[in-house]
Amino acid sequence: MAAKEKTDNAFVETIKTIVYALLIAGVFRTLFFQPFWIPSGSMKETLLIGDFLFVNKMAYGYSYASCPSIIAPRFGIEVDAKDICGVFDGDNTRLFGSQPDRGDVVVFRHPVSGRDYIKRLIGLPGDKIQITSGVISINGTPVKLRDDGEFEEAMARQGPQGMRPRCENGAVGEGGICNKSRQIETLPNGVEHAILNIGNQASDNTGIYTVPEGHYFFMGDNRDNSADSRLAQQAGGVGFVPFENLIGRADRIVFSSAGRSMLFFWTWRGDRFFKAIK
């Protein structure tokens, strides 16, 4: 009997250890830093498909969106943040809240789908935003732009989803060089970052967007390949994003892999490890 009791106790202690570890990880993920993989090319070249980063959840305080969503369709798991913290949803406020800065790279919950998105903050509450020939105007003043060569990447499948890049230099065969024009954009508060352009399209010329109070206007740095605030939520974009939907600020890339799996060590991008996000 003593041996069986010892085995039972060891099993119980193992279960306790796993539960405690999960609880600690859950608290850490909810309050401090949330891991985030970049799944698409909408933020190139600032963020590439396969970049892995931690989102600073302390930057803007806490709301229902700070609770983690656990989505694993392969295993039939879909636990939304509202399922856990929905009681705090609806008033567009935050605990220990602080306002984001223009130019921050922010992870937020899509106001309709609830999926996590990452974009750059362009418009603050009350701003009037318009895009004309690809140039952003904020409250009637165009942002500063300067040409900065080209962004080059190989025409190949990227990331676990096997997505292919779009190119400014037309149809490019497998293994060829895909080019996009690069410019440096300077926002009114002095934040500088690279943006990419592929060609003229409808989203390069818009009407005037007036950002409502308590909401924000986001755009991807890969301007012609981003579903963002330029498109209404009903049209597949994100529209204006409420304050309470912000999850946190992306500050630094921790790890990066250009391959279909992070286990393919020969595809790791060593020059992006611990790279600051600007």
* Residue of 119, 181, 229, 257 with catalytic role: 119
- Going from the C-alpha of 17 to that of each of 127, 200, 211, 218, 250, the distances in angstroms are 50, 56, 48, 42, 31
Given a contact cutoff of 8 angstroms between Cβ atoms, the answer to whether 127 and 226 are in contact is no
Which residue in the list 40, 42, 181, 229 is annotated as catalytic?
42
Active site residue 257: no
Length of the chain (residues): 278
Look up 119 and say whether it is catalytic. Answer: yes
Please give the Cα distance from 225 to 218 (Å, whole number): 14
Joined together, the tokens standing for residue 200 give 């003229």
Report how far residue 161's alpha carbon sits from residue 169's, in angstroms, rounded to the nearest whole number.
Answer: 23
Residue 51 neighbours by CB under 8 Å, 6+ apart: 37, 38, 253, 255, 256, 272
Burial 68-95 (b: 16+ CB within 10 A, else e): bbeeeeeeeeeebbbebbeebbeeeebe
Where in the sequence numbering do the catalytic residues fall? 42, 119
